[in-house]
Each structure stands twice: as C-alpha cells, then as structure tokens.
Amino acid sequence: MKTAVIVFPASNCDRDMVVALEKITGKKPHIIWHQDEDIPEVDLIALPGGFSFGDYLRCGAMAARSPVTKRVIEHADRGGNVIGVCNGFQVLTETGLLPGALMRNESLKFICKDVKLRVDNNDTPFTNAYAQGQVINIPMAHHDGNYFADDDTLQALEDEGRIAFRYVDDSGDATKSANPNGSRNNIAGIISRRKNILGMMPHPERLIEEAQGGTDGLGFFESMINALN
C-alpha cells in the first residue's frame, strides 16, 4: 500500500502518522509539503493532526485552501482514499469533502484523554478489521472536535450508515456523559458517501504499541491494508 502524508505549516502529528503508516505498511509514506503541486500516485492520502496555520481564522480553514489541497480533492473525486485525523478531519470538513463542521468543545477547553469509541460501521476500508459494534479505546486531544451538522445532514449520515465511530461509555452506549465534546449524536468519525474518505477526531495513530498504553488503534491501519492492498 502506497501512502502520502500531507504536511501543513504547524501540522504536528505528521510524524506520528508517518511512523504508524510505515510500521503497518512496511513502506515509508511520501511526505508532501502543502505548497507542493503534485502528489505521487498513492493508495491513501493522510491529513494529520496538529494546528495547521495555528488554527487561526478557523481550524482547517486555511489548509483547505493550500495548493496541495486541490490535488487531495482531485484524488478523492477519483475515488482515491483519504483519511483526516483531528486537524485533518477539520480540513476535510472545510474543503467540503465531508459534511458538517467541528466547533469548539462544549466545555470550551482543550481535552486530552482516552475515550471509548464504538465502531458503528465496520464495512468501510478504515474499519473492517474491527467487529461491528466493537468498543475500542483511542486517545483524543483537541480543542475543536464538537461535531455539528444540520438535522437533514445528520439524518442522512445515520440513514446511510456513514457514522464510523461514536463516543460511548464502557458498556458501549452513546450516552450524554460519554460525549466528551458535545458532538451531535456522539459522532467521533464519519465517512463519505462513497466510503473512500474518513474523518475522525481521536488519534488511532497514538495507540499502536503496548508501550503507548494499548494497541486499539492498530485495527484502523490493518483495515486499510485489508481493503487497499
């Protein structure tokens, strides 16, 4: 599986994503600077976490207008696979590749902690290594992860099975108290209609080794190997 990781000014989880992709695919991803006009032929483009352009203006808004982002959109339009984690998810909503928006956390504070996610659709290139309904532990670290979409969009996401991950409690229920940031319907990650684009706020790339406290993030990358190799 050939991959590329896009680096915007002040991306800061780019190395973590590169390390995870290399560990799982055995191949070093292409690292693409945001001003590059070309992306080599790859199976997957990853938009990493961080604070692109300092999160000034609005998270992801300026990165969505970087030269390289046009190429990412073309890749996605051709059916190519794209993931956006944390700031990468924010960039995807700002480009319109995924619907909705990520607002400031309900508490108005940055929150870094491990959260439980339920895999609500395991029939995607990014979740097939998990069981349907499986509850996994993944770290989150963001200030603006409060997913919002209007009622119609939300209904469509639900009806079309496009909610990949939801924040849940230990027993797998999407309760209000299990919702760390105020996201509508406890949404932590969604996919595009064609299932080739995924955006999520928590960081699977931070939990792929026992030394990091667990390996629940591995399934995310293994899914892509299954689907894209």
Partner 1 sequence: MTWNNNVEITDVLVKEHGLSDDEYALCLEILGRTPTLTELGIFSVMWSEHCSYKSSKLHLKTLPTKAPWVIHGPGENAGVIDIGDNQAIIFKMESHNHPSYIEPYQGAATGVGGILRDVFTMGARPIANMNALRFGSPDHHKTKHLLSGVVEGIGGYGNCVGVPTVGGETNFHPSYDGNILVNAMTVGLADQDKIFLSAAAGIGNPVIYVGSKTGRDGIHGATMASAEFTEDTEEKRPTVQVGDPFTEKLLIEACLELMSTDMVVAIQDMGAAGLTSSSVEMASGGGVGFDFNLDMVPQREEGMTPYEMMLSESQERMLIVLKPGREDEAKAIFDKWDLDFAVIGKITDTGNLTLTFKGDIVADIPTQPLADNSPEYDRPWVKPQSKAELKNEDVQAPADMKQTLLKMIGSEHLCSRDWIWQQYDMQVMADTIQKPGGDAAVVRIHGTDKAVAISTDCTPRYCYANPIEGGKQAVAETWRNITAVGATPMAITDCLNFGNPERPEIMGQFVGCIEGMREACNILDYPVVSGNVSLYNETNGTGIHPTPAIGGVGLLSDSSKMVTIAPQAEGEVLILVGDTRGHLGASLYLEIIEGREEGAPPPVDLNIEKKNGDYVRAQIDAGNITACHDISDGGLYVSLAEMVIASKMGMKVTVDTGTIPSHAFAFGEDQARYILSVPADKVDLILNTANNADVTTQNIGIISGDELTLNSTTPISVSELLEAHKGWMPDYMSID
> Nearest approach, Cβ of 150 to partner 1 (angstroms)?
30
Active site residue 158: no
- Verify binding: residue 193, partner 1, rule CB under 8 A: no
Specify the residue, 56 or 70, whose C-beta has the smaller distance to partner 1: 56
The encoded tokens of residue 208 equal 């792929």
From CA 153, how far away is CA 158, in angstroms rounded? 9
Active site residue 209: no
Choice from 71, 75, 118, 143 touching partner 1 (CB under 8 A)? 143
Binding-residue total with partner 1 (CB under 8 A): 31
> Nearest approach, Cβ of 162 to partner 1 (angstroms)?
28
From CA 101, how far away is CA 113, in angstroms rounded? 22
* Residue 59 burial (10 A CB sphere; 0-12, 13-18, 19+): buried
Q: CB of 14 within 8 A of CB of 63?
A: no
Report helix angle 67-77 to 87-95, nearest 10: 80
Choice from 205, 216, 223, 224 touching partner 1 (CB under 8 A)? 205
> Nearest approach, Cβ of 151 to partner 1 (angstroms)?
31
- Verify binding: residue 67, partner 1, rule CB under 8 A: no
Interface region with partner 1, contact rule CB under 8 A, candidates 109-117, 146-154, 166-174, 192-200: 109-117
Catalytic residue, chosen from 13, 86, 94, 143, is: 86
Instruction: With CA atoms as reference, report the closest residue to 102 among 202, 211, 207.
Output: 202
